[in-house]
């Protein structure tokens, strides 16, 4: 039985991943700062005859992460798969996002993932599993950013770079590191969106509302791609197309296409 640690597993994609891994016979640690949400995920897994338990953890707090490590060391002694899923959503124009909002996003979306990886890595190294993995949930916004999502895009771009470096560094130890870059999908992340700009919440809701991709379908793709030892996991057809266009087209052509595409997603149009 594999030991799977998932941060932010109380809802959304984290919950979907927890359910998928539990159905595959894994023992799942549901880590989340929201105890009620985490307990609900464990209850759902219990109903499927899966095995899971909850651990409260705030990835922006080193002491909270250290407490999680101590608990897992006592219970499991090793971790086979770490999924760095916990994160926050931010949005706003360049002149509306405060430095405090930037710092908050960076501390959770980027430093939180790094903090967790550094803390859990000794337990992963202690695992005897043939396939040991670290899966980092970034975003399409880190690959093909657009306007009005500065702090969010920067943290996700940083996470992609971190994952790539870790992929090379840990490969000799047969520890596979991957990064997932989903675009907008039906989840509750937008409900906790932090923004200081009028109209921005409605704009993000509009983008999420246009997606027919579910957390469950993304979780299934992640599990399958990780088993195939893929590095970059692009879960959306449009996202794969945008990434390809950015890589292959002259920069001026790509920028013109994106500007035209994003014109309909103006803040005024969303009100």
Spatial CA neighbour of 195 closest among 99, 101, 103, 100 = 101
Spatial CA neighbour of 210 closest among 239, 184, 240, 243 = 184
Structure tokens at 205: 């809701």
CA dihedral 25, 4, 225, 140 (to 10 degrees): 140
Structure tokens at 50: 């899966």
Is residue 152 annotated as part of the catalytic site, yes or no?
Answer: yes
Spatial CA neighbour of 153 closest among 132, 170, 139 = 139
Structure tokens at 161: 């770079």
Do the beta carbons of residue 135 and residue 226 sit within 8 Å? yes
| Residue 192: DSSP 8-state | G
Spatial CA neighbour of 136 closest among 106, 103, 166 = 166
Spatial CA neighbour of 176 closest among 207, 235, 132, 210 = 132
What amino acid positions are annotated as catalytic residues?
Answer: 152
């Amino acid at each position: 039985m594999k030991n799977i640690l998932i941060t932010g597993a109380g809802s959304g994609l984290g919950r979907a991943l927890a359910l998928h891994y539990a159905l595959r016979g894994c023992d799942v640690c549901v880590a989340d700062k929201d105890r009620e949400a985490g307990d609900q995920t464990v209850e759902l897994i219990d109903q499927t005859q899966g095995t899971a338990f909850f651990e409260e953890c705030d990835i922006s707090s080193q002491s909270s992460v250290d407490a999680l490590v101590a608990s897992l060391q006592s219970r499991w002694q090793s971790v086979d798969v770490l999924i760095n899923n916990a994160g926050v959503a931010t949005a706003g124009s360049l002149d509306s996002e405060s430095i405090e909002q930037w710092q908050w996003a960076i501390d959770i979306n980027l430093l939180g993932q790094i903090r967790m990886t550094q803390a859990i890595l000794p337990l992963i190294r202690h695992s005897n599993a043939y396939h040991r993995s670290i899966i980092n949930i970034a975003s399409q916004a880190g690959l093909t950013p657009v306007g009005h999502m500065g702090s969010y895009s920067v943290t996700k771009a940083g996470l992609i770079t971190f994952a790539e470096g870790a992929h090379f560094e840990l490969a000799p130890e047969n520890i596979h590191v991957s990064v997932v870059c989903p675009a907008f999908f039906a989840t509750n992340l937008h409900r906790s969106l932090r923004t200081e700009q009028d109209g921005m919440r409605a704009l993000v809701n509009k983008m999420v509302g246009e997606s027919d991709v579910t957390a469950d379908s993304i979780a299934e793709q992640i599990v399958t791609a990780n088993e195939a030892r893929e590095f970059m996991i692009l879960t959306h057809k449009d996202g794969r197309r945008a990434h390809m266009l950015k890589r292959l087209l002259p920069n001026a052509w790509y920028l013109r296409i994106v500007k035209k595409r994003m014109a309909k997603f103006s803040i005024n149009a969303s009100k």
